[in-house]
């Protein structure tokens, strides 16, 4: 286990705190943590700053090892970590900087439906969504990752799903990477990973994954909200899941392989969970080929779930998804490593940007945005816990300092075991129903793990990234019904 953080965070301004390079002899750059005074105690007590410092050892790291205000302890890099390496200067890629649930991400669907239209049907809607979308540990779907379609799914992602009738062409335009990363190579995926992902496409899974029907309760930026299609009083749907067992197996296998490869390459590391190889090495290319396959699997997964959600709404309300206005606002990845170009000291450089529990946040005018979002910046979707609220943000120019990255959610305050222990005997579903939130779930333990107080208040997290200027607020949504694994 990583040693206890013994340093003192140096205050840079109201929202940024530095770990100097002098803290640890192997640090190549400083650590920078985005946080408020209010959140700082929890950040330090979690010991995650030590992981921020550890990541600063990695070859080729540039600018700083960073973490967002939803930072908490993770595997290798903390959840909330952002790390970029200079590829042509021997920069490395580390599976610990991506995480086990490759392309765990979130998508937001807007509707034309006011609360009054669904308020009398919330319980029935929760039941129908629970029946329609397979949930829970080991949940399986109808789509099989077999020889007939495996390569198409892993290279085509959401595009494959839409081409098979699971969604609309407009869904692709409103997804990061248009729902499929180039460079996916199923040939670098093991038989075991294929076996674990064989029948999990179109399934929600368990843990912090969820499906949530929400009401927009506040608008902060009328112009951006109008472009995104969200309006106060209207209903939205949020889907949060990733690559399931398929991505988990890829991370496990490549992390284990890279421990020996790192040592062989003479890379000195303070934590073997940050095992890594140069991006340009054959082993680096193999990992990225497999990781991109898992990322595309996750985009296909969320796309199929989107189709199942639209069908469920049609069955409950007797209208087509088109007539209900169920248009995708955007889909973003949280756990991913991507090759991106940045101006570094007047020179354009290719960087490997790791975002682990962090969201891409492109500014207005960025070339990778769809035309409809060129004036607003990228929609940034920030889920909270199942008892409070979530936010819709937009990217900014200032986010260049974080390689156009921002927070991804609330961030845990309690471990899963602590949450289970401290909520023993409570009826969480009844507590939520008393607040007007209907919960359907597969595993009772999951509900206790995900109790609202196990998380930071996402409003505090959002205030930091907005205060730091790396995102701006567009809207706030509250949960009405939640489906969990």
Active-site positions? 408
Straight-line distance from the first to the last Cα atom of the chain, in angstroms, rounded to the nearest whole number: 29
Give, in order, the Cα–Cα distances in Å from 380 to each of 180, 342, 372, 410, 457.
Answer: 18, 20, 15, 14, 18
Count of CA atoms in the C-beta half-sphere (13 A) of 89: 14
Strand stretches in 276-432, DSSP E? 277-278, 328-333, 335-344, 347-356, 359-360, 379-382, 390-395, 405-406
Give, in order, the Cα–Cα distances in Å from 56 to each of 29, 98, 242, 266.
Answer: 6, 15, 27, 16
Q: Are strands 390-395 and 471-484 parallel, antiparallel or unpaired?
A: antiparallel
CA gap 67, 220 in Å, rounded: 26
403: helix, coil or strand? coil
Give, in order, the Cα–Cα distances in Å from 192 to each of 138, 148, 196, 249.
Answer: 15, 18, 6, 7
| φ, ψ of residue 231 in degrees (nearest 5) | -145, 140
Q: For the chain, how many residues are written?
A: 485
Strand stretches in 59-209, DSSP E? 65-72, 79-86, 92-93, 105-114
Q: Indicate the DSSP class of residue 164.
A: T
User: Which token pair is 469?
Assistant: 């200027």
- Cβ-contact 470, 428 below 8 angstroms: no
Give, in order, the Cα–Cα distances in Å from 232 to each of 36, 246, 373, 462.
Answer: 29, 38, 20, 19
Q: Are strands 471-484 and 438-441 parallel, antiparallel or unpaired?
A: parallel
Helix 150-163 with 282-317: angle, nearest 10 deg: 40
Q: Indicate the DSSP class of residue 175.
A: B
Helix 458-467 with 37-45: angle, nearest 10 deg: 110
Give, in order, the Cα–Cα distances in Å from 47 to each of 50, 71, 100, 351, 423.
Answer: 6, 10, 20, 28, 24
64: helix, coil or strand? coil
CA gap 215, 194 in Å, rounded: 38
- Cβ-contact 132, 124 below 8 angstroms: no
């Amino acid at each position: 286990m990583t040693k206890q953080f013994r340093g003192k965070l140096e205050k840079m301004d109201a929202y940024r705190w530095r770990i100097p390079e002098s803290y640890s002899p192997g640090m190549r750059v400083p650590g920078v943590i985005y946080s408020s005074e209010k959140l700082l105690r929890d950040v330090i007590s979690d010991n995650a700053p030590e992981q921020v410092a550890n990541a600063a050892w990695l070859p080729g790291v540039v600018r700083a090892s960073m973490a967002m205000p939803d930072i908490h302890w993770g595997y290798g890099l903390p959840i909330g970590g952002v790390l970029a390496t200079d590829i042509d200067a021997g920069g490395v890629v580390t599976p610990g900087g991506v995480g086990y649930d490759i392309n765990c991400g979130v998508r937001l669907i807007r509707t034309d439906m006011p609360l009054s239209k669904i308020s009398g049907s919330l319980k029935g809607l929760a039941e129908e969504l629970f029946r329609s979308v397979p949930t829970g540990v080991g949940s399986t779907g109808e789509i099989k990752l077999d020889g007939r379609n495996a390569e198409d799914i892993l290279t085509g992602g959401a595009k494959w799903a839409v081409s098979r009738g699971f969604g609309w062409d407009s869904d692709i335009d409103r997804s990061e990477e248009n729902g499929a990363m180039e460079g996916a190579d199923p040939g670098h995926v093991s038989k075991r990973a294929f076996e674990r992902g064989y029948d999990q496409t179109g399934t929600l899974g368990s843990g912090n994954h969820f499906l949530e029907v929400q009401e927009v309760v506040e608008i902060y930026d009328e112009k951006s909200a109008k472009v995104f299609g969200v309006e106060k009083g209207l209903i939205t749907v949020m889907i949060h899941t990733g690559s399931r067992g398929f991505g988990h197996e890829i991370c496990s296998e490549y992390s284990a392989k890279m421990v020996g490869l790192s040592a062989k390459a003479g890379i000195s590391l303070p934590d073997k969970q940050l095992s890594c190889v140069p991006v340009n090495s054959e082993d680096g290319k193999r990992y990225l080929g497999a990781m991109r396959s898992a990322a595309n699997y996750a985009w296909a997964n969320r796309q199929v779930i989107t189709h199942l959600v639209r069908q469920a709404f049609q069955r409950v309300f007797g209208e087509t998804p088109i007539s209900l206005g169920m248009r995708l606002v955007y889909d973003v990845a949280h756990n991913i490593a991507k090759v991106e170009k940045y101006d570094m000291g007047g020179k354009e450089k290719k960087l490997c940007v790791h975002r682990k529990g962090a969201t891409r946040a492109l500014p207005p005018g960025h070339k990778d945005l769809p035309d409809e979002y060129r004036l607003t910046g990228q929609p940034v979707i920030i889920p909270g816990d199942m008892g409070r609220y979530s936010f819709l943000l937009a990217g900014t120019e200032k986010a260049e300092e974080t390689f156009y990255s921002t927070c991804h959610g609330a961030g845990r305050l309690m471990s899963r075991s602590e949450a289970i222990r401290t909520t023993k005997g409570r009826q969480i579903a009844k507590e939520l129903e008393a607040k007007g939130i209907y919960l359907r779930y597969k595993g009772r333990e999951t509900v206790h793990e995900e109790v609202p107080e196990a998380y930071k208040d996402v409003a505090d997290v959002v205030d930091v990234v907005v205060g730091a200027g790396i995102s701006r607020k567009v809207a706030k949504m509250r949960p009405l019904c939640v489906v969990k694994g």
